[in-house]
Amino acid sequence: MYTLLQPDFRIKRDEERCIRCGVCVRQCAFDVHSVDTDDGSIRSDESKCVACQRCETLCPTRALTLEENYHVANENYNWTGGVLKNIWKQAETGGVLLTGMGNPRPYRIYWDHLVLNASQVTNPSIDPLREPMELRTYLGSKPDSVEVVKENGSLKLKTKLAPQLRLDAPFLFSAMSLGAIGYNVQEAMARAATEMGIYWNTGEGGLHKDLYKYGKNTIVQVASGRFGVYKDYLDAAAAVEIKIGQGAKPGIGGHLPGEKVGDLVSMTRMIPAGTDALSPAPHHDIYSIEDLSQLIYSLKEATEYTKPVSVKIAAVHNVAAIASGIVRAGADIVAIDGIRGGTGAAPTMIRDNVGIPIELAIAAVDQRLRDEGIRNRASILAAGGFRSSADIIKAIALGADAVYLGTAALVAMGCHVCQKCYTGKCNWGIATQDPYLERRLNPDIAAERLSNLIHAWSHEIMEMLGGMGINAIESLRGNRLHLRGVGLSKTELDILGVRHAGAS
CB 477, min distance to another protein, A = 6
Pick the closer one to another protein by CB: 124 or 487.
Answer: 124
Q: Where are the beta strands (DSSP E) in 176-318?
A: 199-201, 218-222, 239-243, 254-256, 277-279, 309-314
Q: Which residues bind another protein (CB under 8 A)?
A: 16-17, 19-23, 26-27, 58, 60-61, 119, 121-124, 126, 131-132, 134, 136, 138, 142-148, 150, 154-157, 159, 161, 164, 370, 373, 375-376, 429, 434-436, 439-440, 442, 444-445, 468-472, 474-482, 499, 503-504
Which residues, other chains included, contact 234 with Cβ-Cβ below 8 Å and sequence gap of 6+? 220, 240, 299, 302, 303, 307
CB 435, min distance to another protein, A = 4
Pick the closer one to another protein by CB: 223 or 446.
Answer: 446
Residue 34 has φ and ψ, to the nearest 5°, of -150, 155
CB 469, min distance to another protein, A = 4
CB 109, min distance to another protein, A = 23
Pick the closer one to another protein by CB: 146 or 270.
Answer: 146
Which residues, other chains included, contact 231 with Cβ-Cβ below 8 Å and sequence gap of 6+? 302
Determine the Cα–Cα distance for residues 6 and 172; give it in Å rounded to an integer.
40
Pick the closer one to another protein by CB: 16 or 301.
Answer: 16
Determine the Cα–Cα distance for residues 455 and 468; give it in Å rounded to an integer.
20
CB 132, min distance to another protein, A = 5
CB 20 within 8 A of CB 41: yes
CB 321, min distance to another protein, A = 18
Determine the Cα–Cα distance for residues 309 and 468; give it in Å rounded to an integer.
33
SS3 sequence of 28-60: CCCCCEEECCCCCCEEECHHHCCCCCHHHHHCC
CB 355, min distance to another protein, A = 26
CB 55, min distance to another protein, A = 10
Determine the Cα–Cα distance for residues 44 and 47; give it in Å rounded to an integer.
9
Which residues, other chains included, contact 41 with Cβ-Cβ below 8 Å and sequence gap of 6+? 15, 18, 20, 35
Strand, helix or coil for residue 405: strand
Pick the closer one to another protein by CB: 295 or 360.
Answer: 360
Pick the closer one to another protein by CB: 106 or 502.
Answer: 502
Q: Where are the beta strands (DSSP E) in 370-456?
A: 379-383, 402-405
Pick the closer one to another protein by CB: 225 or 399.
Answer: 399
Pick the closer one to another protein by CB: 68 or 127.
Answer: 127
